[in-house]
Structure 1
Amino acid sequence: MNRTYEYRLYPRKRERAALEEMLAQGQAVYNAALQECKNYYTATGKRRTALAQWDYFREWRKQPGITLNASSLQQVLRRVDKAYTAFFSRLKKGEKPGHPRFKSIAQFKSLEYTYGDGCKLVYDEARQRMLCYVQNVGDLKLKQHRPLPEGAVIKHVILKRKASGWYVFLQMQLPDPKLAAPNGLPAVGADMGLLRLLTLSDGTQIDNPRWLRHSLDDLRRAQRRLARAQKGGQNRKDKRLLVAKLHEHIANTRRDFWHKLTYWLVHTYGLLALEHVELAFMTHNRHLSLSAHDAALGVFQEVLCYKAVDAGCTVALVNPAYTSQHCSGCGAMVKKDLSVRVHQCPHCSLTLDRDENAARNILALALMSARIEPSGVNVDHEVMRSLRSSPLKRGEWSQRTHHDA
C-alpha cells in the first residue's frame, strides 16, 4: 500500500536561495531536454527517451556551479519522457496531440529524489526533532505534525515550492493492511451533484460551499492588479504571489472539507453506494466546468476510498443510468427534465426530492449487485474484498446517460 505524507519546510534565507538555484537548474534541464526531443521528433518522427539523453546531461552536470543532484536530474528527464509518452499516446488515438510545452521558472516548482540519494530525513539529537537533509543545501527545519506510520519505507521524495512556502512530500510503502472487519453500521446511497454535493438516501443533504465562487471577487481584483503591474518588476512578482496564495487557500479549504466529511461518512455508515460516473465530461462542459472544478468530486472519491479501507467501510460503485428517472418506491419509470427537482410518482404517489430518490435507487442497485442485506451486517465477504481492493477501477460499467447537475 502506498501513501504520501506532506510536511512544511522552513528553510533559512541561504537555504531558500540554494533551493531556488536548483529549481532554476532543473528548469534549464527540462527545457533543454524538451528541445532535444522536439528536434529529434521533427527529424525522425520518433521519441527520444530519457535513457538516451542521460549521457549528455551526465557530462553537463560536471560543470562548475551545478548543484543539482544526479538522482534529481534523472527525475527531470523522466518528466520530459513522460510528457512525450502522453503526446505519442494522444497521437495514436487520433486526438489533438499538443506538443509538451516549455516551462518558465514560475511553472517549474518541484524537485524529485530517490530517498537516500540526495535527500533524506535525519534526526537532530540535540533538539530532538526531525530534519530534512538536501544535498548541497543542508539540513532543513521540518514541521512534523504527525509521525510516520510504523513499518513505512520511504521510496521517493518531492521538494515543492508553493505560494505559502516550501514543502516535502514523502512517498512511502506501507505493509498491506489486514482488511478491517465490517463495522456493522447501516448502508447508505449517495447521489453526487453540483447544486448539492451529496444527497444521501436517508435524507441527509450536504450543501455545496462553492469555495471558488465565493472567492471570485477577491481573485478578480488580485488578477486585475497583476495585469496592471509592469512585467519584470518586483511589484508584479508580489501580485502574482498574492494570486497564487488565494488559489492555494481555496484548494486547502476544499480539501480540508472533503477530508472531514469523508471521515464522518466512513465512521457513520458501513456501506457507501456511489455512482460510477466519468467526471471529465463536466469539466469539459463550458456551462459546468467552473462548478465542477470548484466541487472537486474526484477528490471526494479518492479520499473516501482510501479512508474506507481503514474504517471497515465498503464503497460500492454502481451504474447510475436512469437512477433519477426510476421510482425508488415502485420501480416505475417517471421521466422528468433536469429542471424538475421533485420526484412525484403517479403510480405509487411517492413524493420526495429527486436527488434523494436517485440515492435510494443507487443504494438498491449496490445491495442487489453485492448481495448485501439492507442491515449492512450480513455481508458476502468475497464481494466486499473485491470492492474494497480497487473501488474506482472495478468492472466495466456503461457510460452514464443522464446526470443531475
Structure 2
Amino acid sequence: MLEAVKVALDPTPRQERLLESHAGAARFAYNAGLAHVKDMLERQEKPEWSYYALRRWWNANKDALAVSMETGKPWWPENSKESYNSGLESLADALKNFSKSRKGQRKGRRMGFPRFKSKDKAVPGFAYTTGSFGLIDCDPYALRLPRIGRVHCMEDVSRRVNGARVLRMSVSRHAGRWQASLTVERADLPVPSPPKGGSVGIDLGVKELATLSDGTIIHNPHVLKSNLGRLKKAQRNLSRKRKGSNRRRKARTRVARLHARVADLRRDLLDKTTT
C-alpha cells in the first residue's frame, strides 16, 4: 500500500534560497508550458499537452527559454531537472482535469482552463521522482535533496518511514515553513481484530466537541477564539503595509503562521481523539 509521511524541514539560510530557486524553476516551467499550449491553441493547432509531450518540448527549447538577461547563458542547470519536470507534471494534470471535466468524465466541481502561476500567490513547491533523493544512511534526522544537499529534519524520518520504499518526495512551503511529504510503499498491514469490550454512542456538538453515552465529555478548546486577538492584531498590522513591500510580505507570513497554528491545534485534537 502507499502511504504519505510528512516531516518538517529545518534548512539553513543558504538551503532556503536553493529551495526557493527550485520552487521558482517549477513555476517557470509550468508557466512556459502553459504559454506554449495557449500559443498552439491560438494557431488552431492540435495541442500536445500530455506530460511526456511537454517534457519533449521543454528539453528541445529550454536553452532558449531559460536564459539569463545579464550573461546571456542558460540558467536552468542551476536547479535539479526534477524541479522543471514537477512543474510540467502539474500542468499536464491540470490540463487533463480540464479536458475530462469538459467532457463530463470527471466527478466533482467543474474545472476551468489552467491559469498562470503568480510568484506572490502560488504555493512554492516541487517534487523528486528520480535520482538519489530520500533517506540518508546513519543520519535519521536528515533528508537528501539533489542539488541542495543534506537538509536537517525536525524529527526522526527513518522511524516514520520504517524501512518502506520511498517513491516520491514533494517539497513545499506553507506559512513560511518548508516541509517534505514522502510517498512510501509498504506491505499491507494485517487486518486488525475488533477490540474487546462494549460500545458507546457519540454525540457531536458545538459547545462540547463530543459527549459519550458513558458520561465522558471531550471539551472543545475553541482554538480560533483563543487566538483571535493575536490574529486581529496581525491582520491590522498587515493592512497598514504598502503592497509589494518586504514588510508586507513579512506581515503576511505572520498572519499565515497564526492560521496554520489554529489548523494544527484542531488537527492535533482530532487525531488524539480518534486514536
| TM-score band w.r.t. shorter chain | 0.7 to 0.9
CA distance in 2, matches of 1:149, 1:186: 34
Q: 5+ residue gaps in structure 1?
A: 264-405
The Cα shift of 1:198 comes to 3.4
Between stretches 91-100 and 7-16, larger displacement belongs to 91-100
Q: Given that residues 40 and 46 in structure 1 are in contact (C-alpha distance below 8 angstroms), is that contact kept between their aligned partners in structure 2?
A: yes
Matched, 1:26 2:37: no
Q: Pick one of 95, 119, 122 that aligns with 2:136.
A: 122
RMSD: 2.8
Q: Which residue of 2 aligns with 1:58?
A: 59
Q: Which residue of 2 aligns with 1:166?
A: 178
* 1:39-75 alpha-carbon deviations (Å, 9 max, x no partner): 4456468672222211121234556322332333222
CA distance in 2, matches of 1:70, 1:190: 51
SS of 2:115's equivalent? coil
The Cα shift of 1:7 comes to 2.2
Q: Given that residues 109 and 160 in structure 1 are in contact (C-alpha distance below 8 angstroms), is that contact kept between their aligned partners in structure 2?
A: yes
CA distance in 2, matches of 1:161, 1:17: 12
Q: Which residue of 1 aligns with 2:113?
A: 99
Q: Given that residues 201 and 212 in structure 2 are in contact (C-alpha distance below 8 angstroms), is that contact kept between their aligned partners in structure 1?
A: yes
* 1:364-403 pair list within 5 angstroms: none
Is the alpha carbon distance of 1:151 and 1:140 closer, same or farther for their aligned partners in structure 2, counting shifts above 3 Å? closer
CA distance in 1, matches of 2:140, 2:111: 48
The Cα shift of 1:118 comes to 5.1
Q: Which residue of 1 aligns with 2:70?
A: none
CA distance in 2, matches of 1:246, 1:229: 18
SS of 2:79's equivalent? coil
SS of 1:35's equivalent? helix
Size of the alignment, in residue pairs?
Answer: 259
CA distance in 2, matches of 1:36, 1:189: 57
Q: Percent identity?
A: 28
* 1:221-263 alpha-carbon deviations (Å, 9 max, x no partner): 3223223211222211111111111111111111111111111
Q: Which residue of 1 aligns with 2:250?
A: 238
Matched, 1:209 2:221: yes
Q: Which residue of 2 aligns with 1:132?
A: 143
Counterpart code for 1:55: R
SS of 1:161's equivalent? strand
- Higher CA-based Rg: 1
Matched, 1:112 2:127: yes
Counterpart code for 1:71: E
CA distance in 2, matches of 1:6, 1:57: 30
The Cα shift of 1:213 comes to 4.2
Q: Given that residues 71 and 118 in structure 1 are in contact (C-alpha distance below 8 angstroms), is that contact kept between their aligned partners in structure 2?
A: no
Q: Given that residues 170 and 181 in structure 2 are in contact (C-alpha distance below 8 angstroms), is that contact kept between their aligned partners in structure 1?
A: yes
CA distance in 2, matches of 1:260, 1:102: 40
Is the alpha carbon distance of 1:247 and 1:45 closer, same or farther for their aligned partners in structure 2, counting shifts above 3 Å? farther
Q: 5+ residue gaps in structure 2?
A: 67-73
* 1:192-245 alpha-carbon deviations (Å, 9 max, x no partner): 455554344445443443323443443233223223211222211111111111
Matched, 1:37 2:37: yes
SS of 1:19's equivalent? helix
Between stretches 63-72 and 27-36, larger displacement belongs to 63-72
Between stretches 68-77 and 234-243, larger displacement belongs to 68-77
Per the normalisation by structure 2, the TM-score is 0.80
Counterpart code for 1:112: A
Q: Pick one of 65, 71, 88 that aligns with 2:82.
A: 71
SS of 1:148's equivalent? helix
Q: Given that residues 6 and 168 in structure 1 are in contact (C-alpha distance below 8 angstroms), is that contact kept between their aligned partners in structure 2?
A: yes
Q: Given that residues 165 and 184 in structure 2 are in contact (C-alpha distance below 8 angstroms), is that contact kept between their aligned partners in structure 1?
A: yes
The Cα shift of 1:4 comes to 1.8
Is the alpha carbon distance of 1:150 and 1:96 closer, same or farther for their aligned partners in structure 2, counting shifts above 3 Å? closer
Q: Given that residues 26 and 68 in structure 1 are in contact (C-alpha distance below 8 angstroms), is that contact kept between their aligned partners in structure 2?
A: no
Q: Given that residues 23 and 105 in structure 1 are in contact (C-alpha distance below 8 angstroms), is that contact kept between their aligned partners in structure 2?
A: no
Is the alpha carbon distance of 1:82 and 1:191 closer, same or farther for their aligned partners in structure 2, counting shifts above 3 Å? farther
CA distance in 2, matches of 1:202, 1:237: 50
CA distance in 2, matches of 1:223, 1:119: 39
Is the alpha carbon distance of 1:32 and 1:2 closer, same or farther for their aligned partners in structure 2, counting shifts above 3 Å? same
Q: Which residue of 2 aligns with 1:223?
A: 235
Counterpart code for 1:121: L
CA distance in 1, matches of 2:46, 2:205: 44
* 1:237-292 alpha-carbon deviations (Å, 9 max, x no partner): 111111111111111111111111111xxxxxxxxxxxxxxxxxxxxxxxxxxxxx
